[in-house]
Amino acid sequence: MKIAALSDIHGNLPALDAVLADIARRGADLIVNLGDILSGPLLPRETAERLMALDLPTIGGNHERQVLSWHPDRMGASDRYADEQITAGQRDWIASLPAVLRLEDVFLCHATPRSDVECYLEDIVEGELIPAPLKSIEERTGGCDAGLIFCGHSHIPRLAHLGSGQVIVNPGSVGIQAYDGHHPVPHTVQLGSPHARYAIAERLGAQWTVDFVAVPYDWEAAAQLARQREREDWVRALRTGFVRPS
C-alpha cells in the first residue's frame, strides 16, 4: 500500500499540478487531501475545479470551515478572496467534506483528531514551532488507534513514532512555505525554500516507510499572481520560503 498525502494547497494550482505530476511519476495506490484547500490570493476556483474532478479522499480544514461559517467582515484576506471566487457548487463541495476520515487503518485529520486548529507535532515557543514531546503528541492523539495518522495545518513536514507503534505524518504544505500565524498565539513558520511539499507513506510488512518530497514548480509566476492581488506577504513566501528577508 502506497499513499501520497497532500495538505494545505491554499489555492496554489501550479504547485498542486507539479505535485500531482510527481506522484504520477513515482506511483501511488491512493492520494489523500488533508484540507486548507482554497484560501489564498491565487486560484481558489480553479483549484476546486481540479480537485473536484479528481474526487480524492478529502477532508476540510479550518479555512474551509471559516469560509463556510464566518461573515466576510471577520475573515482574513485569504479566506475572503476564496469566498468571493468560488462557485455555489464548489461551496457545496467543501460543505460536504468531513472534518476527519478513517480509511481502514489510516486516519486523516487536518490538525489533530479533536481539532482543526491545534498543531499536532509542534509546540509554539517564543513565536516558533518546535517539535512537541511525545507525551503531548500522545495526548493529542486521544482515542484514535489508527496505525498511520496523516495531519497538516502547520505546513511543516514532520514524522512522529509513538510508543504504541503509531506513525503520525505531516506532509507539509503544497501551496505556501512560509506564513505568520495568529492562533493560539502569534508565530512564524518558514521552510526556507519555495518547493511544494508532500509525502508518500508505503507499508512494507508491518511498518510504514515515509518519504518527504519537495517539488519545484514555477513559483515566480505564482508570486507575480500574488502581487497582482496586492498580497506582498505571499510574494516573498512563494519566492523564497521566508516571511521576511533571510
Please check whether residue 140 lies inside any domain of the structure.
Answer: no
- The verdict on pTM exceeding 0.95 is yes
Q: Where does the pLDDT of residue 97 fall: very low under 50, low under 70, confident under 90, or very high at 90 and above?
A: very high
Please check whether residue 71 lies inside any domain of the structure.
Answer: yes
**Cα radius of gyration (the chain):** 17
- Write out the residue range of the structural domain in which residue 215 sits: 2-102+175-240
Taking residues 176-197, report their average pLDDT: 94
Q: What is the mean pLDDT of the chain?
A: 97
Residue 246 confidence (pLDDT) above 80 = no
User: Pick the residue with more confidence: 237 or 185?
Assistant: 237
Q: What are phi and psi of 185, to 5 degrees?
A: -140, 160
Please check whether residue 44 lies inside any domain of the structure.
Answer: yes
Please check whether residue 220 lies inside any domain of the structure.
Answer: yes
Taking residues 83-99, report their average pLDDT: 98
Please check whether residue 7 lies inside any domain of the structure.
Answer: yes
pLDDT of residue 132: 98
Q: How far is CA 27 from the centre of its chain?
A: 21
pLDDT of residue 116: 97
CA distance linking residue 213 with residue 5, whole number of Å: 10
Taking residues 158-183, report their average pLDDT: 96
pLDDT of residue 245: 78
Please check whether residue 156 lies inside any domain of the structure.
Answer: no
| β 148-150/106-109 pair status | parallel
Taking residues 18-40, report their average pLDDT: 98
Please check whether residue 139 lies inside any domain of the structure.
Answer: no
pLDDT of residue 182: 86
**Helices and strands of the chain, counted as H and E runs:** 8, 13
Taking residues 136-163, report their average pLDDT: 98
Sequence-distant (≥ 6) Cβ neighbours of residue 201 within 8 angstroms: 2, 3, 5, 148, 150, 167, 169, 208, 209, 210, 211
Count of domains in the chain? Answer: 1
Strand order in the sheet with 196-204: 30-33, 2-6, 196-204, 207-215
C-alpha dist (Å) from residue 180 to 47, 133, 224, 237, 242: 23, 23, 20, 10, 10
Please check whether residue 15 lies inside any domain of the structure.
Answer: yes
Q: Where does the pLDDT of residue 240 fall: very low under 50, low under 70, confident under 90, or very high at 90 and above?
A: very high
**What's the CATH number where 86 sits?**
3.60.21.10
pLDDT of residue 110: 98
Taking residues 64-81, report their average pLDDT: 97
DSSP at 113:
T
pLDDT of residue 244: 85
